[in-house]
Chains A and B, each alone.
Chain A
Amino acid sequence: MSDLTGPAPVPALGGAAFDGYVRIAEAPQGAMFTLRGDLSSAALKTAATKLAAVDMPEQGRVALNGERALAWMSPDELLLLAPWAEHASVVAQLDAALDDPALNWVDVSQARARFAISGPDGLVREVAAKLAPVDFSPSAFTPGSFRRSRIGQVAGAFWCPGPGRIEVVCFRSVAEYVFTLLRDAARPGSEVRLYA
């Protein structure tokens, strides 16, 4: 359905936010694509790195360039992020670049909800650590780290664009569940100061 455009899509929670001891905010609609195939194939690598304007990420990493990003998802899967304004153009370029039927992509822009946890670095990390079995310590979860894990009882992924910020992505249908978990974890009075 590469040619679908139409009215501006509404994010799952319409841009919900909560100011606790860190800030939890739903990200605005972005473009997001799943790329599948042999990650060593030139066509896939070239298309992915060109569209995100980054180098190929290593396992467990995301390569970031402003609103664009390319994340390693599995030995045969990448996640490509781009600004919503470029959605149609990315779609067209993917269609053109990945003509080998063994290389595949799907648009998952609206299948997901995205949240940012932002605030003092140590506190941002501990809020994430309340919900996912991931080592979010500054030495382990460095800028550019990307982890697929779970958030409470649902699947989710985390990445660290830089100090004081962790991004979370989950499925759209559970956006409210994940937002509620993040909100409750960020309530003032529940600070752990594990990384402070």
Chain B
Amino acid sequence: MSSRLARGGRLIDRGATRTFTFNGRAMKGLEGDTLASALLANDQVMMGRSFKYHRPRGVVASGAEEPNALMGIGTDGHFEPNQRATTQELFDGLTAESQNHWPSLEFDVGAVNAKLSRFFPAGFYYKTFLWPRSFWEKVYEPIVRQAAGLGKAPKDRDADTYEHLYAFADVLVIGGGVAGLTAAVEAGRSGAKVLVLEQTGHWGGRAPVDGGEIGGVGAQAHVDALVAELESLPNVTLRLRCMGAGVYDHGYVLGYERLTDHLSDKSGPRHRLWRIRAAQVITATGAIERPLSFAGNDIPGVMLASAVRDYLVNYGVAPGDRVAVVTNNDDAYRTAFAMKEAGLDVAVILDAREAGGGALAIAAREAGIRVEPGRAVAKVLGSKRVTGVEICAQAGSGSVIETIPCDVVAMSGGWSPVVHLWSHCGGKLVWDTERAMFRPDADRAPTGHDGKGFVRCAGTANGALLLSETLQDAAAQGAAAARAAGFEATASGLPEVDEVAEIPPAAVWLMPAGASYDKRAKTWLDFQNDVKVSDIQLAAQEGYESVEHAKRYTTLGMATDQGKLSNINGLAVLSDALNEAIPQVGTTTFRPPYTPISMGAIAGQGRGETFQPLRRTPIHAWHEAHGVQWEPVGHWRRPYAFPKAGESTHDAVNREITTVREKVGLLDASTLGKLIVKGPDAGRFLDMLYTNMMSTLKPGRCRYGLMCNENGFLIDDGVVARIDENTFLCHTTTGGADTIHAHMEEWLQTEWWDMKVHVANVTEQYGQIGVVGPMARQLLEVLGTPEISKEELPFMAWADRTVGGIPCRIYRISFSGELSYELSVPAGQALALWEALMEAGHGLGVAPYGTEALHVLRAEKGFIMIGDETDGTVTPQDLNMHWAISKKKEDYLGKRGQMRSHLSSPDRWKLVGLLTEDGTVLEDGAYILDAGENDRGQRNMQGRITSTYYSPTLCRGIAMALLKHGPERMGETVQVTKLGAGPVLAKVVDPVFYDKDGEKQDV
């Protein structure tokens, strides 16, 4: 059984008990435990079920690479699935549940899949569910979805908060083990700004567990001294529980800091995403031990040798009472010593190397441990827990020599440097045959803007295995990074290291070498996705020769652990099956993040109230207080309508329209773009931008203009006012404020840089209020506004006037066809003006109106709307706006485009009005039917509806449409589509439905 030892445990506090629950069962652990070590202390070795076959699974590792011990942690709004028990620090009140089983962890119905495993070979989902085709959506997919997946999706909204932080460093060190700290000290001493990130809650990495003496003191004391020096340097920042998640172009690195995951108190941000720019990056990310591939290597109790050591030394937890160590290298012998040290049994060390190990093997024999060179595990015995191993010769096909009882198998297939971060941004790897590992190729580093490498690996991450090698490399890399960042640094001398020499590992990719199919079909490569040696071999046999194809076909390395334990073993099996060398097969691509990071951390502040910026006009609060129904317009909120109590939206819109037609309405037009174009060449510039002539406009006057892109398509419209000889104010659509500003700047900066013109976007400097309706002048006169008669302020003129004591610029422009004054006022006075107008207009029956009334009013007048009548493929000519296209001008943007044959074709769809025969309202976006069908059997069309409304003024539906040869077909009846019904008959008419002569606006 697994249990807490009476002594030991460098990271735990035996005086501080912590209570938690696992699958609803209350358990006790200690401060300093991980969830995994606490579960082992409670003899809970089985921690989950596998993905595909629902096999019982125990914890394999002790860190970020853990594939099996995945938990749903927390409850309700704090619940998160797929969390690794090995990296989850224990706190009082933690609730954890294991995954992938029903009804319980101990008894799982899904385990029947294992019995049917011959029906689930590699790529089974490509083969099994093909027929009948109709079954996929209704039958197979729901079943597969139910059976697959790991943790449950959270049901509640995430109750935590998250944030981002932008940080900058000369040298960023990722990894706070002995290598990272050594490199950081070297860089820090140079004066460089150094940031050190460590993913766990402790400095020092593996060194304090794996031993060795540095400078005459133990590894822990050396680590403490390094940390103390770094803490004393003002230019060094140290962060624990902050993982280097990804390395990107230009020294951009993401750090993932977990702030409250280890605490009972969840207040404050849960995660912080560090968005770092570093001149140089050092990855001192260590190495991950590889499992060995033998039959039954997934049975709970089979663990990495290093993990067994970690649980003993770090947490004082024995994963079992009696261990069998199986290895291809010297390092795993340390696990046997750690077991002995803890007073536990070592049944045997199986060393797959024919000649056995080096100095550590001799020491083991001297300590009375049974060491068996050239031996392997034939098969692990047990189902929910290891009960023993059958041993065999590594060389043969697995004839059992002996059965040895044990409850833990500590395996070590060698070490793979963590090259993920090196590889994220293009760092290349070399295969080191002697060490049996891929390690970074320093000559092919990820390169920055100057073509030079900006990432270095240090220590074990760089392929070093011995402590002395690690320290030497780390010091050199730290100094080199500081130099590359522009500082003076020379690596200081290496402290004396007392360590045991090791002999090289053997490359052992299958155990025993000649394992039969039965064994290979029970030999796991990817524990999380249930991929076995036999699956990879089948993939190779079926022609999936590329490692990337084999990965996707078998799902090797595609689980949440991204193959941290399985990828190298898998590709070694693949290379063997293909009879190619490992470097020829290569690795799959390492992609960020290193381990999964929370969606909350990615979103940061971009959620809830600050999910998106919301733009508010100066009158926004008044609208909100007066029952507004909002319409989102870009990031703005504009009033759609102002329904009164008990009034439907439709009725409100009709009332607002009637108010404008008969009395006076107020419109908040503040969102319209206002661009000041100023300079001696302003007129010439605007002549190029607008299709019509602007330079001839007189100061004090306004002119409506159209703007096209180079292709000749209409992109914006609005009224231009000439302020003085050199200054124009261009009104744009709401959506065009920023884009047209950018459009103008682009032309000024790239093509017409010699024009003396400046453009300033003053959209937000002013509130703009439309006072619209036959009583508009009366309303302004109530507020004492002088000189606004037809003669003093005629249609399409502007003037500065004081309205109710507030100075305004008044534009006499109309988008409704009624008498209309648009009042422009500095934003900070806009609300005061609006309120004054509302109060003064009370006796006249004034009412605010929204965008829907605005739209109907303009449609009754046949005015086009950018985005309704246009969609990026419509020209002014299509809209019969030849009058707004200057014939005199030599050029304007779009002129050439409009001359192209298709754009000047007489067959284009052109603007008309439509009136249904029965007076009903046509559907938005409906098509106008033509005779016959096209070559794909679809009904031919000859036009489409661009705007359609109920007009309360005309008491009937009105519509605008683009129709082939439209203007020549007045009076004709056409058929318009209607969803779920036959076509509707409509008469082609002039698009101006109301006051064709424009008498009402010019009074």
Contacts and interface: CB of A to CB of B under 8 A. Distances in A.
Interface of A: 1, 3-12, 29, 34, 36-37, 76, 101-102, 104, 106-112, 126, 129-137, 139-140, 152-154, 171-177, 180-181, 184-185, 187, 189-190, 192, 194
Interface stretch (B174-182, B286-294, B803-811, B946-954): B803-811
B610 interface: yes
A8 B763 CA distance: 20
B726 interface: yes
A173 B615 contact: yes
B192 to A, nearest CB: 12
B883 to A, nearest CB: 31
B272 A9 contact: no
Nearest to B726: A101
B828 A194 contact: no
B885 interface: no
Interface stretch (B348-356, B537-545, B675-683): B675-683
Interface in B824-838: 824-829, 831-832
Contact of B827 (A1, A111, A131): A111
A34 B765 CA distance: 12
A9 B833 CA distance: 11
Contacts of B615: 171, 173-174
B632 to A, nearest CB: 14
A190 B269 contact: yes
A109 B267 CA distance: 39
A49 B678 CA distance: 22
A52 to B, nearest CB: 19
Given A7-B829, A104-B678, A134 B636 contact: no
30 contacts: A4-B809, A6-B807, A10-B831, A10-B832, A34-B760, A101-B678, A101-B679, A101-B726, A102-B679, A102-B680, A106-B678, A106-B762, A107-B765, A108-B762, A109-B826, A111-B762, A112-B764, A133-B277, A136-B166, A137-B168, A171-B764, A172-B618, A173-B615, A173-B616, A174-B635, A177-B614, A185-B163, A189-B267, A190-B163, A190-B269
A104 B678 CA distance: 7
Contacts of A140: 168
Nearest to B259: A190
Contacts of A104: 678-679, 758, 760
Contacts of B609: 180
Nearest to A77: B758
Contacts of B831: 10
Given A76-B758, A171-B764, 17 more contacts: A1-B800, A1-B824, A1-B826, A101-B679, A104-B679, A104-B758, A109-B765, A110-B826, A111-B762, A111-B763, A135-B166, A135-B277, A152-B610, A184-B163, A190-B161, A194-B165, A194-B167
Given A1-B800, A4-B807, A6-B806, A132 B606 contact: no
Contact of B676 (A106, A131, A177): A106
Looking at chain A's contact residues, the main secondary structure is: loop
Most-contacted residue by chain B among A132, A139, A176 (CB, 10 A): A176
Interface string B231-247: 00000010000000000
- Of the listed residues B680, B762, B763, the one surrounded by the most CB atoms of chain A closer than 10 A to its CB is B762
Contacts of B267: 189
A154 B613 CA distance: 7
A106 B674 CA distance: 12
B584 interface: no
List the 6 closest A-B pairs by CB distance, nearest first. A9-B828, A189-B268, A111-B765, A173-B615, A111-B764, A36-B758
Given A36-B760, A111-B827, A192 B809 contact: no
Interface of B: 161, 163-168, 193, 237, 267-269, 272, 275, 277, 605-606, 609-610, 612-618, 635-636, 676, 678-680, 725-726, 756, 758, 760, 762-766, 800, 802, 805-809, 824-829, 831-832
A194 B762 contact: no
Contacts of A187: 161, 268
A135 B827 contact: no
B756 A101 contact: yes
A6 B805 contact: yes
B836 to A, nearest CB: 10
B165 A192 contact: yes
Given A7-B806, A102-B679, A190-B268, A173 B617 contact: yes
A129 B169 CA distance: 14
B617 A7 contact: no
Q: Which of A6, A7, A109, A129 has the most CB of B within 10 A?
A: A6
Contacts of A34: 760
Kindly name the residue among B615, B758, B807, B809 whose own CB sees the greatest number of chain A CB atoms within 10 A.
B758
B610 A110 contact: no
A177 B616 CA distance: 10
A153 B604 CA distance: 12
A153 B760 contact: no
Contacts of A76: 758
Nearest to B678: A104
B699 to A, nearest CB: 14
A9 B765 contact: no
B610 A180 contact: yes
User: Which of B616, B635, B828 has the most chain A CB atoms inside 10 A of its CB?
Assistant: B828
Contacts of A4: 800, 807-809, 825-826
A37 B726 CA distance: 14
Nearest to B725: A101
A90 to B, nearest CB: 15
Contact of A110 (B275, B636, B827): B827
B943 to A, nearest CB: 38
A151 to B, nearest CB: 9
Contacts of B163: 130, 184-185, 190
A79 to B, nearest CB: 12
B760 A101 contact: no
B184 to A, nearest CB: 16
Given A173-B616, A174-B613, A174-B615, A194 B680 contact: no
A132 B829 CA distance: 31
Given A130-B164, A137-B168, A110 B613 contact: no
B765 A110 contact: yes
A152 B165 CA distance: 11
A155 B828 CA distance: 20
A5 B807 contact: yes
Nearest to A8: B828
Contacts of B832: 7, 10
Contact of A194 (B237, B726, B829): B237
A110 B764 CA distance: 7
Given A4-B826, A7-B805, A133-B166, A192 B272 contact: yes
A137 B275 CA distance: 14
B510 to A, nearest CB: 49
